[in-house]
Amino acid sequence: GEDVEQSLFLSVREGDSSVINCTYTDSSSTYLYWYKQEPGAGLQLLTYIFSNMDMKQDQRLTVLLNKKDKHLSLRIADTQTGDSAIYFCAETNQGGKLIFGQGTELSVKP
Amino acid sequence: GAGVSQSPSNKVTEKGKDVELRCDPISGHTALYWYRQSLGQGLEFLIYFQGNSAPDKSGLPSDRFSAERTGGSVSTLTIQRTQQEDSAVYLCASSLLGGYGNTIYFGEGSWLTVV
């Protein structure tokens, strides 16, 4: 079945880069996503990548996909205190069902 | 409305009672999802509706949980004989088509507390 795994916590200093990692098991994944959830708020789509791409960059965000190893990462450059949140990796296959990881809590210290 | 609307936003119920949670997806969206997020936990997939296809119910945790989607629009998630472990935020989401890079929009959630 489908499974998505993430480390639970990451702590960085303001101005550093953050790298949040995710692994998935479904080899038929078509799209992979990163969502952000701030305290008490809903889920915000940050970015997504199609499975035939290796990399996608969007301003401070860089997504890297290693399809062979089923590994996805989100790099946030120049991390700010406002980036503190829970980041969810998610994948979908041809069936369209969206499966989420447990979320990584990013803590940015000034 | 412009976004996914869920009601009630908060519900406190007694153990053993039934509850219904409602989701109004964005107009025209064919895909609708229900997820559960327990305190400090990730998002647990419950059920997925796509157009007129049979729903994917593989995430429903027990036969006390059921969901329907009437007329391809509004969806109701029903929890019968609620238990304390059912306490969670129930999130609904919709997209124009299932997955496939279409932006998936989440509602604000229905916070369920079973006492």
Span A25-84, pLDDT tens digits? 887 778 899 999 888 777 888 998 988 899 999 999 999 999 999 999 999 999 999 999
pLDDT: which is higher, B62 or B53 = B62
- Mind listing the pLDDT tens digit for each residue in B32-46? 999 998 876 778 889
Q: How many beta-carbon contacts under 8 Å exist across A and B?
A: 60
What residues of chain A lie within 8 A of the CB of B93, using their CB?
A: 43, 98
pLDDT band at A104 (very low <50, low <70, confident <90, very high): very high
What's the rounded Cα separation, in Å, for the pair B113 and B95? 28
Integer CA distances (angstroms), A58 to A49, B32, B35, B99, in order: 11, 27, 28, 20
pLDDT band at A95 (very low <50, low <70, confident <90, very high): low
- Mind listing the pLDDT tens digit for each residue in B71-100? 879 999 999 999 999 999 999 999 887 656
Report yes or no: A79 and A107 within 8 Å, Cβ to Cβ. Answer: no
What residues of chain A lie within 8 A of the CB of B50, using their CB?
A: 95-96
Kindly compute the dihedral angle of the four CA atoms of residues B23, B24, B28, B32, in this order, to the nearest 10 degrees: -10
Report yes or no: B35 and B58 within 8 Å, Cβ to Cβ. Answer: no
- Mind listing the pLDDT tens digit for each residue in B10-40? 999 999 999 999 999 999 999 999 999 887 6
Instruction: For B55, name the nearest residue in chain A, comparing CA atoms only.
Output: A97
Asked if residue B110 has pLDDT above 80, the reply is: yes
Report yes or no: A78 and A12 within 8 Å, Cβ to Cβ. Answer: no
What's the rounded Cα separation, in Å, for the pair B83 and A23? 33
- Judged by CB atoms closer than 8 Å, whether chains meet at B104 and A93 is answered as no
